[in-house]
Structure 1
Amino acid sequence: MSLVVYPGSERFRTREDGRDTRHSFSFGRHYHPANLGFGRLIALNDDRLAPHAGYPDHGHSDIEIVTWVVQGALHHTDADGTAILGPGSVLAQSAGDGIRHAELAGDGPTRFVQTWLRPDSPGGAPSRAHVRAPELGEGLVRVVGQGGLPVGVRGAELRAGTLPEGAALELPDGYRHHLLVAGGGLTLPDGSAALADGDALRASGGCGPLHATASSLLLVWTLPPDTKEPGTGTAGAT
């Protein structure tokens, strides 16, 4: 088992045009050959937007895009219309052989975390689906994967939501796990360190129990162990 903590203070950072983005992996002008991704995860961007700022119309292809809104309201517009995503909402979009979309904050400050995954198969018809916060229920809820929103990576699952103070989280053996703390905090199983807002944990194999030191917002990806590491960095808008 391998367990590595990535402090939020060490993430790459981009600040421009009303956007303040922290990148968990190499992205755009930020490049490090030892940090290109984790399994099929090739981008994980934590965006803070000023009112009405964001990403005007732009294109993607051959990428799976999963967006989780932490604060405010994100207006996501593409060929299927506009979805207004409030706190806790999740949107999964397969770019397939090509999409164009825009992602802009509403009338207040907005924070969202967006993950890109390399799909099992390139091309195909684009698709989009989302779930709103009231539908997620309490606690840490599976929102992508079995019983949740579809994503073009077989065996990938995403759980998102709140882990109550004092509750424990275990990550099952036999998988890769990427955990991002977006509020609150966690302690490691051996008590050697604590994770706070913006910190991440990457585990190859199981891990647990992690204990919430406060009511904690978490984004937890679980990936099958046989997914290949990406071979190159990824550039572009979120």
Structure 2
Amino acid sequence: MIIERLSDARGRVRAGWLDSRHTFSFGSYYDPAWMGFGCLRVINEDRVDPGAGFAPHRHANMEILSYVLSGGLAHQDSTGGGGTIRPGELQWMSAGHGVEHSEFNASKTEPVHFLQIWVQPDRLNAQPAYAQPAAVEAKDGEFVLRASRDGVEGGVPIRQDVKLYSLGLAQGTQARRSLESGRMYWLQVAQGRIEANGRVLQAGDALGFADESGELLLTGSGDSVADVLWFDLPVVG
């Protein structure tokens, strides 16, 4: 089964300083048809005005990833984690048994554009944790592992049987990925334009794959380098 989630069909919330697109139900946006994809629970595309942001608030039992597309995102949390996330960086915060955090635009003059991603963990009430490794330089046509279960295969040590890759695709560049029927996959176009087995996808578009096998061919088809995220997920009941 292949699920298509187009950018314009996502939920949208505007709150003055915030313009947010929700791939799945979140906050005031609720659609019972879009409650998540396996253990992937949230992909919010947020644009935050200069100097504005999310005041301290609390989460528990969720793996939270922030991926900045442009600008800078200032983060602080009750684990002692903090810093400014820049384009190319993937920040991980495991809320565990409970953590309070805030995120603000680090600039007083420029907006920040980022994705916030939530993954349901494979354990409950663990010790909260935080990591913000250095930015990864995208290599054209190469999948780069950014997160894996407990970090044993590289990337941040997410507490779930998930592998998250980033991929850059210039116009005409191709990359291939094998699909296995015992896994679920989510393809998210963060920026740019690509084709996936001939299907055109723009920034914000996504495809989900469940009980699929074979090969997926991705081709860059825009004037700028496309920024793509690839989630390799466990099958959940």
* Structure-to-structure mapping, 1:113-152, within 5 angstroms: 113-133=115-135, 135-138=136-139, 139-145=142-148, 146-152=153-159
Contact 1:36 1:42 in 2 (8 A): yes
**Structure number with higher relative contact order (C-alpha < 8 Å, ≥ 6 residues apart):** 1
Q: TM-score, normalised by structure 1?
A: 0.88
Matched with 2:168 is: 162
SS in 2 for 1:25: coil
The offset of 1:69, in angstroms, is: 0.5
Is contact 1:42–1:118 with CA below 8 Å preserved after alignment? yes
1:218 matched to 2:228 = yes
The aligned length equals: 222
Aligned to 2:93: 93
CA RMSD of aligned residues (A): 1.5
State the AA in 2 paired with 1:197.
A
Q: Distance in 2 between matches of 1:69 and 1:26?
A: 21
Write the distance in 2 (CA, Å) between the matches of 1:169 and 1:124.
37
**1:71-110 mapped onto 2 (5 Å cutoff):** 71-79=70-78, 80-107=80-107, 108-110=110-112
Residue-by-residue CA offset, 1:76-131 (whole Å, 9 max, x unaligned): 11131421111111011110000000011111210110111111111010000112
Once the 2 structures are TM-superposed, how far is the Cα of residue 200 of structure 1 from its aligned partner?
A: 0.9
Amino acid in structure 2 at the alignment position of 1:222:
D
1:208 aligns with 2:210: no
Displacement of 1:168 in angstroms is 2.1
Stretches of structure 2 lacking an aligned partner (at least 5 in a row) = none
Partner deviation per Cα, 1:13-61 (whole Å, 9 max, x = no partner): 0100311000000111211112110010111100011111121111000
Percent sequence identity is: 32
Runs (5+) with no aligned partner, structure 1: 229-238
Q: Distance in 1 between matches of 2:188 and 2:115?
A: 9
Structure 1 residue 219: Cα displacement? 1.5
What amino acid is the match of 2:159? G
Shift of 1:150: 0.5
Structure 2 length normalisation: TM-score?
Answer: 0.88
Residue 53 of structure 2 aligns with an amino acid whose one-letter code is: G
Distance in 2 between the 1:162 and 1:105 partners?
25
Moved >6 Å (runs of 4+): none
CA offset at residue 161 of structure 1? 4.1
